[in-house]
Amino acid sequence: MLKINGQFAFVEISKPKNKLFIIPYMFYLKFLIPLIGKVFMGNSMDYRMLGIYCEKFVDCEKFKIYLEKEGLQVKFCKYFFGCATGVKGKGIRITMYMMVMLLTSHVAFTQCWQQP
């Protein structure tokens, strides 16, 4: 949950637009990262999901619409030739959905404390 004027930031892996980077980058995500995960962490499946996610999700641009609909102000910054996207922003208003979530969580919290 984000307060009004509260700030957030995260970095997402993205599929680069430049075709010269797509093949080596996707090979890196789909094969090398899972191999490294298996060798050092004993689990390749969690790391294999990065390549699958990147291929299906592409980038955060469509996600911006949903964030703005929820009352967030959002900015993007591409890194590493489009292989990663930095997302930052802040909450600027309370939407009806956020108000309902606040009220229901408050009601559930107070009911929990009132029970013996």
The CATH number of whichever domain residue 25 belongs to comes to 3.40.50.150
Total number of domains in the chain: 1
Convert the pLDDT of each residue in 30-80 to its tens digit: 999 999 999 998 888 888 888 888 888 767 777 788 888 877 888 888 888
SS3 61: helix
- Do 34 and 44 form a contact (C-beta atoms < 8 A)? yes
CA distance 96 to 20: 44
Residue 22 lies in a domain: yes
Helix (H) or strand (E) holding 89: strand 84-91
CA distance 79 to 57: 17
> Who wins on pLDDT, 3 or 25?
25
Residue 108 lies in a domain: yes
The 8-class DSSP code of residue 1 comes to -
Q: What is the pLDDT of residue 98?
A: 59
Residue 1 lies in a domain: no
Residue 2 lies in a domain: no
CA distance 38 to 46: 9
Element counts in the chain: helices (H) and strands (E): 5, 3
Q: What is the pLDDT of residue 108?
A: 45
Identify the CA nearest to 45 among candidates 54, 59, 35, 58. Answer: 35
The band of 112, judged by pLDDT with boundaries at 50, 70 and 90, is very low
**Does pTM top 0.85 for this prediction?**
no
Residue 45 lies in a domain: yes
> Who wins on pLDDT, 5 or 83?
83
Residue 102 lies in a domain: yes
Q: What is the pLDDT of residue 107?
A: 46
The 8-class DSSP code of residue 71 comes to T
Domain that holds residue 62: 7-114
